[in-house]
Structure 1
């Protein structure tokens, strides 16, 4: 089992508030996506400039999918931590809920790092390491919460894990098809910023 690390865990007040639990990942995910995308041309232009694998969805799919998944993971976190840390539960259930809260916070950080690594820096190898770590952490988190805290919370993470599996396929495939060099999409953003300065 993992360890509860308060310094690496969102405040319990967030987990105890249903609106905060759901809206926080959505708001942070939107902020990262907005700040990472180029100001002109949009992420879809960068995305379309890459050699793509089969089954790739159109760029407009990602926003609604991620908003839904962030909401579901936020609700799972609320259920697991809010109900799991109730004094009516056993010490082992409370410990598992708190350990999961630390894992949940870590996975949020990994999640929000993917887009800057892939699009902002054009580093598909680092993005692949990131998303594989994210997949592993969430698989374990679903197991931990689902088996020791709240079965519904574990199942709520299942669509997220499935999407992460698909996103891993896309990350690895795009990296491979483009020679593991996406510097031109990172440079695309820099070129736009340089033109604005001149």
Structure 2
């Protein structure tokens, strides 16, 4: 018998990632050639574009299962679950917001500031998960590591690329 709450908890965080991926995919890859994203100065440690989809699917699934474990350990949305699951929801919304800031607004400074704030809330989420379920907190650790890595990429791009007003879209060329 399927555990629908667990499955839903795993799928939920992926929904925002998939929606962002579908909406902004044309800015990341096109058949017509390079996009503005391809023209950015990126560090040598920037992974190939194909890595991001699988990496985020794994990370979203892991954090989703962590939230399910917390929900179960707290016997549902009880008073004990309020802080950890509120922090979880906040960091998830912040996570989903980064992509529109970076790819939609092309505001690299704001994207960097946002990912630093996101990292703080994700860390607080993980700490709150430790108080409820240590394995749930452990499931958040790869996400925290990736956020550190992604923050370094975001900082590099912010510091080494033109301001938003100087960035040209493919349609503006």
Question: TM-score scaled by structure 1?
Answer: 0.76
Cα RMSD (Å) = 2.4
1:120 aligned residue: 104
Partners of 1:95 and 1:151 in 2: how far apart? 19
1:10 aligned residue: none
How many residues align? The count is 167
Partners of 1:173 and 1:74 in 2: how far apart? 29
Correspondence 1:57 to 2:65: no
Q: CA 1:86–1:28 in 2, change beyond 3 Å: closer, same or farther? A: closer
1:91 aligned residue: none
Contact 1:123 1:183 in 2 (8 A): no
Contact 1:50 1:178 in 2 (8 A): yes
Q: CA 1:86–1:184 in 2, change beyond 3 Å: closer, same or farther? A: closer
1:149 aligned residue: 132
Structure 2 residue runs without a partner (length 5+): none
Q: CA 1:158–1:124 in 2, change beyond 3 Å: closer, same or farther? A: same
Correspondence 1:36 to 2:24: yes
2:157 aligned residue: 174
Partners of 1:151 and 1:85 in 2: how far apart? 16
Please say which structure displays the higher CA radius of gyration: 1
Partners of 2:73 and 2:144 in 1: how far apart? 22
Please report how far the alpha carbon of residue 106 of structure 1 lies from its aligned counterpart in structure 2 after TM superposition: 0.8
Correspondence 1:17 to 2:16: no
Partners of 2:158 and 2:149 in 1: how far apart? 14
Structure 1 residue runs without a partner (length 5+): 1-15, 88-93, 193-198
Q: CA 1:30–1:103 in 2, change beyond 3 Å: closer, same or farther? A: same
